[in-house]
């Protein structure tokens, strides 16, 4: 794994051109608390909604999260959804100048209705698609080809992510590939679920999943021999240098025309939350790694790890280079640090909220950690799926408690809290109150001890749709009581 860690930084050097079907994904979240009396269907009470990139846009966002440069080429509508999609891609760091906006052609939109069971666990209930799959007009295809061709001098790899929505047609795709190969570029294709891969002829790498490979190769995949047969057939059909067949929890199979194939397994089992977007994440890392000079095996190993992270999330949430490194470090036994600064904490919480998690926040001095604190934090963690503990800095504690406090420095207090399994993140704040942190993180739940009087930030959290929960401190002496007890046992020294 150490050789993979060293390779991750190279991903940011990749310059990519990305063409395909850009889609706007909308999510409507709500609580499901009853069944409709008019029909046996759940009633979704809307809590919030959000928009994300989808389709080929997932690959753009994933490349951006890796630090790679990505220029997007495709066809979307001259409508509000198209404007929202471009704004999201711009925010992800993508160059959207190559997206053609057409009047009369709607931007593809997929709206997912998501129920939150017990206010915590996100579960997709229904998806509604608003799209057209008609091929783009010939003059539009020529404009798209000319635009991509003009960009080839400034990229290392051309990525085709085909959702079969009318952009990568049988007529246009071979020309795009020929232009890129003629310019000496690596061409990586994530094919549509179609039986005929003739449109991808000339590509460098073809990356179907197991089902797609079996369909296009005409081979039922059941073991290593049939994997090799299917991959070999795909290489024969497309003339590709290599085929990478993704195998879900079983990893991937790499077949190189010159040397045959081998399976590259996942290094550890995964708890699969949702497979949506895993293929896009795998494609992005594979393309970036190849563009950065990695060999096929190393590129697929990195892509496997990134895809494994993705399936543990709800919806598509891009994997950053930092997350990739942290996962690789974890896989070789190096612990990810839970004690984080404000910026890193904000990024982590935003990522986990996007994954459908419920964020819980609590704060305090936590000087002389004791069993009452531990039981309180365990209760707080059960209110959601991610617990952040914010502790006062030493200067902040002195201003609040007096010159004799804290007894334990902030660094040691943070490290002890981070050692608790129920705590996900610990951060130190220097202000007298945690209000700036609350404004930054916008937690779903603010937890406080039952002995607390006025709860700082309660109004703000509730105004943002969160809730405040007061928990009873179980068998817990106050820190002052403990200090006095220690001093009395040592004669007041």
- pLDDT tens-digit series, residues 360-382: 999 999 988 888 888 889 999 99
> What are the residue ranges in the chain where pLDDT is below 70?
1-2, 117-121, 267-276, 333-336, 355, 450-454, 457, 472-493
Cα 28 from chain centroid (whole Å):
18
Verdict on whether the full-model pTM lies above 0.85:
no
DSSP 3-state of 400: helix
The pLDDT value recorded for residue 89 is 97
Q: Which CATH code is given to the segment(s) 347-489?
A: 3.40.50.620
Residue boundaries of the structural domains of the chain = 2-331, 347-489
Per-residue pLDDT of 19-50, as tens digits, reads 999 999 999 988 888 899 999 998 998 888 89
> Among all residues, which ones are annotated catalytic?
280
**Domains 2-331 and 347-489 fall in the same CATH topology:** no
What pLDDT shows up at residue 334? Answer: 61
What's the confidence (pLDDT) of residue 493? 44
User: What is the predicted pLDDT for the residue at 328?
Assistant: 84
> With the C-alpha atoms ordered 417, 422, 428, 429, is the resulting torsion angle positive or negative?
negative
User: Which pLDDT value is given to residue 282?
Assistant: 94
Which superfamily does CATH assign the domain made up of 2-331 to? Answer: Ribokinase (3.40.1190.20)
């Amino acid at each position: 794994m150490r050789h993979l860690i060293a390779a991750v930084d190279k991903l940011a050097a990749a310059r990519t051109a990305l063409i395909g079907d850009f889609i706007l994904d909308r999510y409507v979240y709500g609580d499901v608390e009853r069944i409709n009396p008019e029909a046996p269907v759940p009633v979704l009470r809307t809590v919030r909604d959000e928009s994300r990139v989808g389709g080929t846009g997932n690959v753009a966002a994933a490349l951006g999260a890796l630090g790679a440069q990505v220029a997007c080429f495709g066809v979307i509508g001259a409508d509000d959804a198209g404007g929202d999609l471009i704004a999201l891609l711009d925010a992800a760091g993508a160059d959207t100048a190559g997206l053609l906006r057409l009047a009369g052609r709607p931007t593809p939109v997929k709206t997912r209705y998501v129920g939150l069971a017990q206010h915590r666990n996100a579960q997709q209930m229904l998806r509604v698609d608003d799209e057209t799959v008609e091929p783009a007009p010939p003059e539009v295809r020529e404009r798209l080809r000319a635009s991509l061709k003009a960009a080839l001098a400034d990229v290392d790899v051309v990525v085709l992510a085909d959702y079969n929505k009318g952009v990568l047609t049988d007529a246009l795709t071979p020309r795009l590939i020929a232009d890129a190969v003629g310019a000496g570029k690596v061409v990586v294709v994530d094919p549509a679920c179609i039986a005929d891969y003739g449109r991808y002829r000339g590509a460098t790498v073809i990356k179907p999943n197991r089902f797609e490979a079996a369909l296009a190769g005409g081979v039922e995949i059941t073991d290593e021999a049939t994997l090799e047969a299917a991959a070999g057939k795909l290489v024969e059909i497309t003339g590709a240098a290599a085929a990478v067949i993704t195998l879900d929890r079983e990893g991937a199979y790499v077949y190189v025309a010159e040397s045959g194939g081998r399976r590259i397994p996942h290094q550890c089992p995964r708890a699969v939350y949702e497979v949506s977007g895993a293929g896009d994440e795998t494609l992005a890392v594979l393309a970036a790694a190849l563009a950065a000079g990695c060999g096929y095996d190393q590129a697929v190993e990195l892509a496997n790890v990134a895809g494994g992270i993705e399936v543990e999330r709800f919806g598509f949430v891009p994997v950053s280079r930092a997350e990739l490194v942290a996962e690789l470090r974890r896989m070789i036994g190096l612990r990810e640090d839970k004690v984080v600064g404000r910026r890193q904490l904000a990024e982590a919480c935003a990522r986990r909220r996007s994954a459908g998690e419920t964020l819980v926040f609590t704060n305090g001095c936590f000087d002389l950690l004791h069993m009452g604190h531990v039981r309180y934090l365990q209760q707080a963690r059960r209110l959601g799926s991610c617990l952040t503990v914010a502790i006062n800095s030493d200067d902040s504690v002195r201003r609040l408690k007096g010159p004799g406090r804290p007894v334990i420095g902030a660094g040691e207090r943070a490290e002890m809290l981070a050692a608790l399994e129920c705590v996900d993140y610990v951060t130190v704040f220097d202000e007298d109150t945690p209000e700036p942190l609350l404004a930054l993180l916008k937690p779903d739940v603010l937890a406080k001890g039952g002995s607390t009087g006025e709860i700082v930030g309660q109004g703000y959290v509730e105004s943002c749709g969160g809730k405040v929960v007061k928990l009873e401190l179980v068998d817990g002496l106050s820190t002052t009581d403990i200090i006095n007890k220690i001093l009395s046992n040592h004669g007041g020294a």
